[in-house]
Structure 1
């Protein structure tokens, strides 16, 4: 008999330390219970869930193409279900140890394909219904910003990882951290979010997609919410880029300091002559 993990174990083993607020509040509570339901069936692999999420995404696109108000609402709901299933694949991988590098690539690529097809269906359908060219321009913007967000995020992560590894290598060990007590309203907000696993980057690619493909269609303000989402995404991405620029400017100084510490550290750690000298009676 296959042992079924408890919901508590699923949360502890599969929840990320920090995640998007949309995922924490609207996805994880449902996804964790679905994982509890399907985890014992080992044939339900992360790749199978990725394929199911993609099929649901195609169903969402088909609803968007029908253009009618309630079909568009159905497409928004299907898109959310697709995202829930897409989040399940990572949880199943962590819980059952069935993840793979190919699965990571497959998940990323199918996510981008889903967004591309849904964007073409949603905005192309609205263009066919209204004849407004604005929908086509916004469609191109949505596709571009989605690709920009994820490619930019990957490249920034590579740069930060490279800088961190070079500093660790130069120093010859981990960089010591000094605990600081949060102060001020901003620090209290950060602590409030951290206690609830919500990252401070409040408008990431996830919130962007959900605003475009769920909130916009549900409210009927498809064009307006897509534009607002694009502006918010750019603002938060520019903040990240500015932070990376500051880090790269400070990197040469940090690397030189790490190299100096690395040269001194062996001397500090090696026992002194006095400590190695034999003990003699007075």
Structure 2
């Protein structure tokens, strides 16, 4: 006689495990969880979503969540601890980046599968309590005061920013935001925020005002012509090129990050063609978008 599945065997069921991990991840990084998060992600009804949250909070991670009447949702309790996730920011931000693709959610929530492994960049030091106000400010179009450090100015300094988008550049996460000190939109690394951010007033600048961000450009990539014809065909096949080219359409401020991912030096060719492999043929058109070293 087949055993009927129930919430008690949640660790054996991907659908339940995914839902409980989403519950824990959203609560930890956003600080507010509602049934809508589950309904939108998994296409389930409000009653089932409520049942999942209650089961998580009573059986899987007892008292991890507290209902907040002002927030009209659940927030992490003082004793919150991660039970079904690792508690690193990649789990949350990958969910944002792949919210339209459930298969990506499965991959980045780390459900083990036989004969498959992958590597990820070393994790940056990003703390939930530092990130929650950034996420809230970006969502609600608010200004937020951060304490920030950089290589050029290593001592932590207060900065007032208006964030609009979280970005993963292949190695690390940053937030695109208007900086009131420099009066321009810039990228701020999440790992370089050194204190809990404080949300202040409504932002005057938004994503719509970020002209560079709203400009799309094309990066035209081809095999290095120093390779012989057979080698060039290999590279073309690797990247599924059409007519010997790969055309990447992206937001202008992301050009440098794409070149870094493709291991294309912004300024010079590698002396060994087999190490270079790819070249950008419209570099002059992209010059203004390349970030300084």
Q: Same fold (TM over 0.5)?
A: no
TM-score by length of 2: 0.20
Compare CA radii of gyration and give the structure with the larger one. 1
**Structure in which a larger fraction of residues adopt helix:** 1
TM-score by length of 1: 0.20
